[in-house]
Amino acid sequence: MSERVVVDPITRIEGHLRIEAQTDGDTITDAYSSGTMVRGIEIILRGRDPRDAWAFAQRICGVCTLVHGIASVRAVEDALNYSIPHNAQLIRNLMIGAQYVHDHVMHFYHLHALDWVDVVSALKADPKATSELAQTVSPSWPKSSPGYFADTQKRIKEFVESGQLGIFANGYWGHPAYKLPPEANLMAVAHYLEALEWQRNVVQIHTILGGKNPHPNFLVGGAPSAISINAEGGMGATSLNQTGLSTIKNVIENMQRFVDQVYVPDTLAIASFYKDWGAQGEGTGNFLCYGDFPDKDTSDIGSFLVPRGVILNRDLSTIHDVDLNAENEIEEYVSHSWYKYQGGKENGLHPYKGETEFNYDGPEPPYQQLDVDKGYSWLKSPRWKGHAMEVGPLARALMLYAKGHEQTKELVNHTLKTLDVPVQALFSTLGRTAARTIETKIFADTMMSWYNQLVDNIRNGDVKTFNETLWEPSTWPSECKGVGYTEAPRGALAHWIVIKDGKIDNYQAVVPSTWNAGPRDAKNQPGPYEAALKGHKLHDPKQPIEILRTIHSFDPCIACAVHVTDPDGEELIKVKAV
């Protein structure tokens, strides 16, 4: 019997996402992804000073705390052909790298792990056996005694007995899809709580280099992190000084330690119980990377740590070039979105010519089901040369692997061998989750190299972090355009800007969750979320943990793709925090 399973909202993500899955018996035959908030940031930016755009664009999201700022300043710099000092590039690399490591660890433990870890089952665990397991999985991690796990178990019990699970509420505990033994569940919950403490330390890199977190400061033409050296050659008391540099080094070492001794081992340990998920959850089979982490200049694409390119139909032997400025490559469609284009909904528009005009024609809320033959999402449908593309950690890991990056090849091959799964398992829910762990290890290791380069530059007397030559609008052409891109934790992110007479004439951001979560296009091609759910079997449609596992493997951030406004574009509510 055919029926529609509706999950709204998808929990443990940023923003509002609705999934409707059409089923035949217990099998999903089609899925529909709907962003249920409306986007408006591009409208807000029109007419503003391009040098201020980052401060507005960065508020697109509170989870991706800096990547929109990076994309925005790079867009302006690209439009003006504005180069930045090497130190500024290293500072940006460090800040983006810190975002990756922080974001991925938090995603694994606090947004995704509970799809695989049964918190209530941890109450049945033997703390002594859990200690033995933990010392086998993570032999160098100090928090592994029986007493430590007994204390953790007591904390969980207090949550349960109070009738308020708090941070562990709203889980499908006891669902037969959970396969971990109680001891593995207890170990994972303990690490969940440790990660909460750990993340409070790692954000210091953003506060030192950007002034605060979330939403650190940025600067068109460089970085706001002035470096001060006194006459004796020691670090001064203001700006980025020896204390700040030492703290950054300690934070990076702390990141590496947690990733190496907890995150990586936990991923392998948990995945070993769910190897069947290496055969389901594939999306479109097409993968896109803009590339990021340049050596010195974003114009030197060959120096990027993460390469740029496209993989089509799983073919790792052929990497297709990507041109972000070519108007016949990247286009956004709105045929199934609640927007309209002046030239008609069937047309695709390159972001330089992008339009943001609301056109809600969906059912009047509250409603039972979407009319998927019409518009059904506030997300647009980006396409590369007509192809629906997956972006994110899996796309990056595959690109690095295909390009022969030695550390990636070693980590991927080790993961496949350890789990005893074929290479095809990469194209799956399990592969997507493992790829996120793999790249976290790579970036955590590389951050120390960027740090050492920055310190060496300072020791050699290079303290420049800002290029002032093109700061004044009087030096700008009357009209120009540019694209700023980065590889955000969730995937390829780019902002396109058109500047006329010193003001923003058009601004379009195409974000990772738009690539992944967008609806069908004019050709009825599903987006990656929609494609990845097809074929899933649901044990219980009222507890659709199978849907959550695959959707969460993408790490959705719908707030990046949509924003709240009322029908007249006015602010809905203002909250004063005291």
Contacts of 297 (CB under 8 A, 6+ apart): 83, 84, 89, 303
Residue 468 has which token pair?
A: 């002032």
Is 289 a catalytic site residue? Answer: no
CA terminus-to-terminus distance, the chain = 53
From 490, 495, 520, 552, the catalytic residue: 490
Say which of 513, 536, 546, 553 is annotated catalytic.
513
- Residues facing 288 on adjacent strands: 310
User: What secondary structure does DSSP assign to 407-464, as a single string?
Assistant: HHHHHHHHHHHHHT--GGGGSSHHHHHHHHHHHHHHHHHHHHHHHHHHHHHHHTT---
Question: If DSSP codes are grouped into helix, strand and coil, which group holds residue 574?
Answer: coil
The DSSP H or E segment spanning 20 is: strand 17-24
Q: What DSSP character marks residue 492? A: E
Cis peptide before 9 (omega within 30 of 0): yes
Residue 578 CA from chain centroid, whole number: 31
User: In sequence order, what are the residues at sequence separation of 6 or more whose Cβ sits closer than 8 angstroms to the Cβ of residue 346?
Assistant: 333, 335, 522
Contact predicate 176/539, CB 8 Å? yes
Residue 37 · residue 365 · CB < 8 Å: no
Residue among 547, 428, 382 at smallest CA distance from 22:
547
The phi, psi pair for 132, rounded to 5°, reads: -65, -40
Residue in the structure block whose two tokens are 């006891």: 174
User: Which residue of the set 68, 336, 436, 552 is catalytic?
Assistant: 68
Q: Is 14 a catalytic residue?
A: yes
Q: Is 480 a catalytic residue?
A: no
Q: Is 68 a catalytic residue?
A: yes
Give 213-219's long-range contacts (Cβ < 8 A, gap of 24+). 213/65, 214/62, 214/65, 214/66, 215/58, 215/59, 215/62, 215/65, 215/66, 215/69, 216/65, 216/66, 216/69, 216/95, 218/54, 218/55, 218/58, 218/66, 218/69, 218/70, 218/72, 218/73, 219/73, 219/466
CA atoms within 13 A on the CB side of 144: 16
Q: Rounded CA gap, 20 and 35, in Å?
A: 11
12: left (phi over 0), alpha (psi -120 to 50) or beta: left
The active-site residue, picked from 12, 14, 18, 436, is 14
Which residue in 12, 18, 20, 61 is the catalytic one? 61
DSSP calls for 237-263: SSSB-HHHHHHHHHHHHHHHHHIIIII
Catalytically annotated residue among 64, 131, 138, 183? 64
32 sits in which H/E element: strand 27-35
> Active site includes 513?
yes
Hey, which residues are catalytic here?
Answer: 14, 61, 64, 68, 490, 513, 557, 560
